[in-house]
Structure 1
Amino acid sequence: MPVFTRLRAARRRTRPHTRLRTRLRAAREAHPVAARALRLTVHVLAAALVVGALLMPNTAPALRPDRFTRIPAEAIIGAILLLALPRRPRTVVAALCGAGIGVLTVLNLLDMGFTEYLGRGFNLVLDWGLLDDAQTYVADALGGTAATAAAVGAVVLALLLVAVTALAAVRLGNLLARHRTRSARGALIAGTAWVACAALGVQLAGLPVASERAAGALKGQTRRVVETLRDEAAFEKESRADTFGATPPEQLVPDLRGKDVVFAFIESYGRAAVEDPLVAPGVTRTLDTRTAALARAGFHARSGWLTSATYGGSSWLGHSTALSGLWVDNQQRYRTVTAGDHLTLTRAFRETGAWDTVGVMPGVQKAWPEAEWYGLDKVYDAFDLGYRGPKFSWSTMPDQYALEAFERLEHGRKRDRPLMSEVILTSSHQPWAPIPELVGWDELGDGSVFDAIQRAGKKPAGVVADGAASKREYGRSITYSVTSLTQWLERYGTDDTVLVFLGDHQPLARVSGDRASRDVPVSVVAKDPEVLEKIADWDWTEGLRPAEDAPVWRMSDFRDRFLTAYGSTPHPTGG
């Protein structure tokens, strides 16, 4: 034998994987029963993984044992395909199909998470950027280390899931090939059973036994992508049409001239706060108490409902929907509308030249070019309000402090013309722990007074893990935010102050419920009776608490109704 041939043979004999195979073979020969049991167990686990992934639902409430007692058509088709292929193509096809099943499982898990928090499934085109927001939220709530660990763990888990399902499919393909006759017979029986169950409409626990769950999920994801791509062009055209786009400045909100107008959004202030049995008692008591307190100060209110374009999060979609008059329910629409010149309700005030305009945005911690689209002359972000106290999870500062800073920096200053303000309050942002407490307005200082309150508050991890605790703390946070805002109005409001405040969206499903509406309360508060008289035909409820049967509008209707109520004349621009 030539020298090089002997060397190659020696190397082959000493390769690690060769030695490993030799040892495994020896172990199987030494313990045949255990080896057979292990092999059978792995086969069963591989089949359970593949079939379970094919039947897996994409919502958490549907994740029940009866969901996995059906016959997946995709498994039958896959078995027939693999039986028809020779070894090498079979291995490749099995690996690709298994990896595809793994990817579909990851998408199902993303759907579960997005449905739980945002009330909708994951969008393959638009939602990747929200994963970064999710990591930021976890970092604010649980710390940077936990956020990094969660992100790394999620990526590793996703990759591992794809790899394991691919390996499981290859193993099952090889098993089918080794027992070709019995496998073909089994596939035929399963296929016949599937067709019979589908034809007869056989159900188990209310679900059809003949399942096409994976195919349906793939079709749903594909449809979502196609609809998203089509929507981009359609919405761009829609956003160019504006009922008040060409209205002359002197014909915009003439009936509010001389008024200081404040548009305030309360984070996660939804219908659940007013109607959920566990949350509502404290919140409604606060709304009624604050209505009475404002009345003693000369203020009166009318309240109704708006149906938000978002749910559980993505607050900026609610803000832009309410102020633009367009239905901005995804990030693509948000980018489109903020890049254009569609008139916002806040910019309408600046267009008149009769108001100074300002934004108070304690949740903004980076560049925010949307300020121009909103028509804000100046924006105070998290770093501009002089706060030196602690963060409260995601919220950079308590609402009471943000409002006092607004008073100090803008609202309380003497000026030549009235002020229009957009204020975003964040203390009711999830995870609702710890929650600030009200302190004396004269004690706020630079916010250091909140150090002890923050340290004594509940820990986010304990609240997030407990649904009942989440509801209780959510209610407390809404009570805090509403009280802070209305106390500010009671303390600093004048005869010419008009406050419009509303929620941006409902809280996530763990608090609002799996089938909750997207409704949020909205209130208009003023001392001047003519301000409320202008909206008398809205039939809103008197006070801060809207009645259950008060009118419900789409949030995108609010801009035009508000502009019309206060004397604006429509001059449309075309699409």
Structure 2
Amino acid sequence: MRSAPSTRTRPASPQDDEAPRRRLAALLVDCLALAFVWTALVLPDTPDRLTPSALVQVPVEAVALAAMALTLPRRPTRVLVWLVGVLLGLLTALKVAGLVSVGVLGRPFDPVTDAAHLGPAVDFVSASFGSVAAGGAAVAAVLLVVLLLVGTPLSVGRAVRLVQRRRGTSVVAVLGLTAVWSVAAVSGLGIAPREPLAAADTVRFAEGEVRAVSSSLAEQRRFDAAVRVDPYRRAAPGDLSALRGKDVVLAFVESYGRVAVQGQASAGVQRVLDAGSRQLRASGYAARSAFLTSPTFGGVSWLAHSTLQSGVWVDNQSSYDRLLAGDRTSLTSAFGRAGWRTVALLPSDRGAWPQGRAHYRFDTVYDSSSLGYAGPGFGFSMMPDQYALQAFQRLELAPSKRPPLMAEVDLASSHGPWAPVPHMLAWDGLGDGSVFAGMHDGAQTAGELWSHRDRVPAAYMASIEYSLTALISFVERYGSDSLVLVLVGDHQPATIVSGHGGNHDVPITLVARDPEVISRISGWGWQDGLRPGAGAPVWRMDLFRDRFLGAFGKAPR
């Protein structure tokens, strides 16, 4: 008699336990790859469009890629995957760069000219938030680029293999998405304002980048031609007789933009300027103000400095480098040829600047190491503006036997991150600057400020109030009949203060005690006082050089 069949089950093996986990892990990786590719395709390139609704768009590029994966043979598909993956990774990296550039500088990223800004950006973070933060930001940026350039091709490959494995489901999905995209494209259906359901952003972005590169190269050729047209190159620009014996000080106030003098948030700055106008008038000074349109926004101050000095529009690093490699006449070199001693006071520069002598023809360049400061730095600024101005007085204005002076003074206490911000002390008590140590120790740090981003605009305004107060007080205390001050902003502050889509206007003011100096610019239409109103004239910044030299000297032949 046969025995009954055994009902015992085979013991589960470790391989049986691992199989569901592997399938679950594979499913998770597939989902992550699809999400990665989808996000890369719909990622906008401007912060104002970076919303959750943007991720709900249907990208036609995804539909096309899936359709090709279903119809092409496997070998051409593998080549296509890597080509598409590398291109999409590069475009996504450019989109991320664009998000940062628009968010900070208010303009799209230019791959031809903007790569040179990476070094200064790291230096800014290091000076403002510390070397650890700068190192962390640099590492994070490198990792992000590696993730995009390596992870995107891998994700595209994973997504394509998934489509090929599940052909039936994929065909239905492609047909459905094609129908949805077509209906939405024809009807204009959108999921939010400026967010159509049917998207083709990556194709348009790629076309735009190709056009931008071509435009940048053409702009460089136009810039080179403009630099060569310089009526002041061959001969001294007149004798500047209307300024003979005057000390001309060109003072740039960092991030001093139109937003600082107009609008409810600027009430404190307006009070400083209006009170300063009354104080200077009581001391015998007159002031006239207007606006200039800066070539830069949110940063890269040296582009504005070179534009105003050279009389040519310098709006990118490549143009700046090309300008400084040539011999175009600057305001500084014009004064130098006419007999003035020329000086640059750069209290927050941390290294040598050979172009100051080679291109601008400054006789002396003072940086942070040559002003005798022994106190702490304040954010990006190596020293408070009040100390820098007093050092300028001690080193250059105080000596009695000297030629007339033309100086560029770059004030940096209003430079981002706008914390900590110093406050005014008695001029006689500044000493070597060590007195500022106690002020610094009790002040809000940059990290504390930026952990509450809603407080940043007010901190910006406070820094502008300080810089303007220091400069007005300096004129009151150390000014003379021979002083001619040109006070100008370099650019608007970053978008966290100025908002997106803001203009590039910055205030400019000419201050002098000699009525003949003021009469020379009477035809400019500038407004009385230190604060330009809404109706004040607006010039492009590159027009200032020729108009200034023409007003105070002889026109070139």
User: Which residue of the other structure, out of 235, 252, 255, is the alignment partner of 1:268?
Assistant: 255
1:525-544 correspondence to structure 2 within 5 Å: 525-544=511-530
Shift of 1:542: 0.7
User: Which residue of the other structure, out of 105, 112, 131, is the alignment partner of 1:144?
Assistant: 131
- Greater shift in the superposed pair: 261-270 or 235-244: 235-244
Provide the C-alpha distance between the structure 2 equivalents of 1:254 and 1:247, rounded to a whole number of angstroms.
16
Provide the C-alpha distance between the structure 2 equivalents of 1:178 and 1:513, rounded to a whole number of angstroms.
48
Paired AA for residue 62 in structure 1: R
User: Which residue of the other structure, out of 313, 324, 333, is the alignment partner of 2:310?
Assistant: 324
Equivalent pair of 1:252/1:348 in contact (CA under 8 Å): no
User: Which residue of the other structure, out of 434, 440, 443, is the alignment partner of 2:426?
Assistant: 440
Query: What residue number does 2:17 align with?
Result: 27
Query: What residue number does 1:61 align with?
Result: 48
1:367-446 correspondence to structure 2 within 5 Å: 367-372=352-357, 373-446=359-432
User: Which residue of the other structure, out of 59, 65, 72, is the alignment partner of 1:72?
Assistant: 59
Query: What residue number does 1:515 align with?
Result: 501
Provide the C-alpha distance between the structure 2 equivalents of 1:397 and 1:248, rounded to a whole number of angstroms.
36
Query: What residue number does 1:213 align with?
Result: 201
Corresponding residue pairs, total: 543
Normalising by the residue count of structure 1, what TM-score does the alignment of the two structures yield?
A: 0.90
Provide the C-alpha distance between the structure 2 equivalents of 1:45 and 1:277, rounded to a whole number of angstroms.
47
Shift of 1:98: 2.8
Query: What residue number does 1:223 align with?
Result: 211
Equivalent pair of 1:467/1:511 in contact (CA under 8 Å): no
Query: What residue number does 1:339 align with?
Result: 325
Provide the C-alpha distance between the structure 2 equivalents of 1:440 and 1:364, rounded to a whole number of angstroms.
25
Q: Aligned residues: percent identity?
A: 43
Provide the C-alpha distance between the structure 1 equivalents of 2:470 and 2:520, rounded to a whole number of angstroms.
27
Equivalent pair of 2:69/2:160 in contact (CA under 8 Å): yes
* Cα gap change, 1:121 to 1:26, in 2 (>3 Å): farther
Provide the C-alpha distance between the structure 2 equivalents of 1:155 and 1:208, rounded to a whole number of angstroms.
33
User: Which residue of the other structure, out of 343, 350, 355, is the alignment partner of 1:365?
Assistant: 350
Which string of whole-angstrom CA distances, capped at 9 and with x for unpartnered residues, describes residues 179-236 of structure 1? 2244234323433433343233333323322211111121222222222222222211
Query: What residue number does 2:336 align with?
Result: 350
Equivalent pair of 2:512/2:518 in contact (CA under 8 Å): yes
Paired AA for residue 554 in structure 2: S
Normalising by the residue count of structure 2, what TM-score does the alignment of the two structures yield?
A: 0.93
Shift of 1:28: 4.7
Provide the C-alpha distance between the structure 2 equivalents of 1:314 and 1:385, rounded to a whole number of angstroms.
24
Shift of 1:74: 0.8
SS, match of residue 76 in structure 1: helix
Shift of 1:509: 0.3
Query: What residue number does 2:101 align with?
Result: 114
Query: What residue number does 1:306 align with?
Result: 292
Query: What residue number does 1:489 align with?
Result: 475
Provide the C-alpha distance between the structure 1 equivalents of 2:401 and 2:210, rounded to a whole number of angstroms.
55
Equivalent pair of 1:300/1:525 in contact (CA under 8 Å): yes
SS, match of residue 246 in structure 1: coil
Shift of 1:363: 2.3
Paired AA for residue 362 in structure 2: L
Paired AA for residue 17 in structure 2: A
State the Cα RMSD in Å.
1.9
Provide the C-alpha distance between the structure 2 equivalents of 1:359 and 1:396, rounded to a whole number of angstroms.
16
Equivalent pair of 1:252/1:563 in contact (CA under 8 Å): no
Provide the C-alpha distance between the structure 1 equivalents of 2:16 and 2:309, rounded to a whole number of angstroms.
74
* Cα gap change, 1:110 to 1:476, in 2 (>3 Å): same
Provide the C-alpha distance between the structure 1 equivalents of 2:271 and 2:15, rounded to a whole number of angstroms.
74
Provide the C-alpha distance between the structure 1 equivalents of 2:322 and 2:309, rounded to a whole number of angstroms.
15
Provide the C-alpha distance between the structure 2 equivalents of 1:158 and 1:416, rounded to a whole number of angstroms.
55
2:452 aligned with 1:466:
yes
SS, match of residue 368 in structure 2: coil
* Cα gap change, 1:162 to 1:26, in 2 (>3 Å): farther
Provide the C-alpha distance between the structure 2 equivalents of 1:432 and 1:203, rounded to a whole number of angstroms.
40
2:230 aligned with 1:242:
yes
Structure 1 gap segments, 5+ residues each? 1-22
Paired AA for residue 223 in structure 2: F
2:490 aligned with 1:504:
yes
Paired AA for residue 170 in structure 1: G
Provide the C-alpha distance between the structure 2 equivalents of 1:227 and 1:272, rounded to a whole number of angstroms.
30
Paired AA for residue 235 in structure 1: F
* Cα gap change, 1:252 to 1:235, in 2 (>3 Å): farther
2:264 aligned with 1:277:
yes
Query: What residue number does 2:221 align with?
Result: 233
Provide the C-alpha distance between the structure 1 equivalents of 2:15 and 2:513, rounded to a whole number of angstroms.
88
SS, match of residue 485 in structure 2: strand
SS, match of residue 415 in structure 1: coil
